[in-house]
């Protein structure tokens, strides 16, 4: 984003500060499209190793604060926000250390708090989040361009909303920490902050106080999913976007995808649309049948969804939510295929799950492609999928099967608009797709 902004603004750009994840410069050093000008006026700070706030990220946040303070009312402030912004703007509230803030966030994450709850607490403990950056920039005209990495493109959730009014109630952070029984585990400075202002009637940060700010989403999961749909259609598939609102545990999503795949194959085998239509209406509250020409089913069906799932990690393995989803789906669908061979005899079901940022969990892959045959081939070669599932070691499973060809390896893409899931159902008797 910064490279492109520098190219477009050219000499109109007076100065700038960019905070990026650790090793970003090294990861993209051989890619000219990710390089700033040789004599760039933009200073780059790296921090937040492993997407966790650190002192290097605080230095970057301090540099942003100083940059904003140097502006005059006639200046225009351009703010570029993408996924990972929360960890890269970790400047704590006055009187609070980064260590105390980080300890609190780790307690919450290990307790199972969701992203919305984490962001409420982050905003409470931070100077720049929850509209803090916009308050600091007032009255300078501020334009914020955003790449959304959250479901529903909720502005106050993306990077914890540094230029968006904070509408959290003053006791919201306290209530969340109480919900997870963490109050007695908090450092005293944190407890003091989350207990502040309880006696004061709640008045949310008024949007009219942000009249100098214009927030604009320029990229999101829907754009990526639509492009995936266009690509699938060019390949000859009849394609439907299911949703871009995936935000559930892996168990829930797998059950949905399995039932969807099973019912489609069953429908194609029996040529009976009614059970499938009823199931779709119940699960999706919409009728995707109308979006697909039934006479063209035999050429292949492609179902696309987007968002992010959550995966409980209990093992020491290598992988991420996308590879885990591909492995679990393939394993479970193979069981269905064994129990109902007639429905799958003429139809191949292939599943892909990948992260748009190019990195999935603690692996070097973006995701993986799987199908029942992936599992069957693994078992034939004495590779036990259950061993890898128990260890959350999906990366090494796919690395050992089919010589790693099922792994999706793109490297860092520089963009994060969440994940894309694709289910392709192809008629094995039709060689045109």
DSSP label of 207: G
Considering the chain, what percentage of its residues have pLDDT values greater than 90? 71
In whole angstroms, what is the distance from residue 128 CA to residue 125 CA? 9
Domains of the chain plus CATH, in order, are: 1-87+131-154+206-219 (no CATH), 92-125+169-203 (no CATH), 222-427 (3.40.1480.10)
Distance (Å, whole) CA 354 – CA 408: 7
Residue 242: name the closest of 433, 423, 426 by CA: 423
Q: What average pLDDT does the segment 282-290 reach?
A: 51
pTM of the model: 0.86
Higher pLDDT among residues 90 and 30, named by residue: 90
- pLDDT tens per residue, range 80-133: 999 878 889 999 999 999 999 999 988 998 888 887 788 899 999 999 999 999
Query: Is pLDDT larger for residue 120 or for residue 204?
Result: 120
Average pLDDT, the chain: 90
Distance from C-alpha of 19 to C-alpha of 194, rounded to nearest angstrom = 27
Q: How confident is the model at residue 295 (pLDDT cuts 50, 70, 90)?
A: very low
pLDDT at 250: 95
- For tokens 């910064």, name the residue: 2
Q: Are 313 and 248 in contact (CB under 8 A)?
A: no
- Calculate the CA dihedral of residues 288, 290, 295, 300 and round it to 10 degrees: -20
| pLDDT of 298 strictly over 50 | no
Q: How confident is the model at residue 179, as a pLDDT?
A: 95
Tell me how far apart the alpha carbons of residues 95 and 190 are, in angstroms, rounded to a whole number.
Answer: 9
Alpha-helical (H) ranges within 235-384 are 250-270, 274-284, 321-339, 341-344, 372-380
Q: Return the closest-CA partner of residue 243 out of 326, 306, 285, 309.
A: 306
- Alpha helices by DSSP H, listed for 285-320, are none
Q: Are 309 and 321 in contact (CB under 8 A)?
A: yes
Per-residue pLDDT of 326-362, as tens digits, reads: 999 999 999 999 999 999 999 999 999 999 999 999 9
**pLDDT confidence of 9, banded at 50, 70, 90?**
very high
- At 293, the pLDDT band (50, 70, 90 cuts) reads very low
* CA pair distance 397, 383, nearest whole angstrom: 8
33 CA to centre of own chain: 23
**Confidence (pLDDT) at 284:** 56
């Amino acid at each position: 984003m910064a490279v492109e902004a520098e190219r477009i603004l050219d000499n109109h750009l007076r100065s700038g500060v960019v905070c990026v994840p650790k090793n970003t410069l090294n990861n993209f050093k051989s890619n000219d499209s990710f390089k700033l000008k040789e004599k760039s006026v933009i200073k780059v700070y790296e921090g937040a190793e492993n997407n966790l706030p650190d002192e290097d990220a605080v230095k970057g946040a301090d540099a942003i604060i100083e940059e904003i303070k140097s502006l005059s009312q006639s200046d225009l402030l351009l703010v570029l926000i993408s996924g990972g912004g929360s960890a890269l703007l970790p400047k704590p509230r006055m009187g609070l250390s980064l260590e105390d803030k980080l300890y609190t966030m780790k307690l919450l994450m290990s307790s199972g708090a969701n992203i919305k709850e984490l962001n409420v607490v982050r905003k409470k403990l931070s100077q720049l989040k929850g509209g803090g950056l916009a308050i600091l920039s007032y009255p300078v005209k501020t334009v914020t361009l955003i790449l959304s990495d959250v479901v529903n493109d909720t502005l106050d959730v993306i990077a914890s909303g540094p230029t968006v009014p904070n509408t959290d109630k003053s006791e919201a952070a306290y209530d969340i920490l109480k919900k997870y029984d963490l109050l007695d585990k908090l450092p005293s400075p944190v407890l003091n902050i989350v207990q502040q202002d309880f006696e004061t009637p709640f008045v949310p940060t008024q949007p009219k106080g942000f009249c100098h700010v214009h927030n604009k989403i320029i990229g999101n999961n829907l754009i990526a999913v639509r492009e995936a749909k266009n690509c699938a259609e060019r390949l000859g598939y009849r394609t439907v976007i299911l949703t871009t609102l995936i935000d559930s545990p892996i168990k829930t999503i797998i059950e949905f995808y399995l039932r969807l795949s099973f019912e489609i194959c069953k429908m194609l085998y029996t040529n009976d649309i009614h059970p499938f239509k009823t199931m779709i209406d119940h699960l999706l509250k919409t009728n995707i049948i109308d979006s697909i020409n039934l006479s063209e089913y035999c050429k292949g069906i492609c179902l696309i969804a987007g968002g992010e799932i959550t995966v409980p990690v209990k093992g020491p393995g290598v992988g991420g939510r996308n590879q885990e989803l591909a492995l679990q789906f393939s394993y479970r669908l193979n069981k269905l295929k064994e129990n109902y061979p007639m429905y799958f005899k003429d139809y191949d079901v292939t599943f892909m799950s990948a992260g748009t940022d190019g990195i999935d969990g603690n692996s070097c892959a973006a995701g993986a492609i799987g199908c029942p045959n992936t599992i069957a081939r693994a078992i034939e070669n004495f590779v036990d999928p259950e061993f890898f599932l128990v260890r959350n070691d999906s990366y090494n499973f796919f690395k050992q099967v089919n010589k790693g060809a099922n792994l999706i390896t793109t490297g860092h893409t520089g963009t994060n608009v969440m994940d894309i899931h694709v289910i392709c159902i192809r008629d094995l008797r039709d060689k045109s797709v």
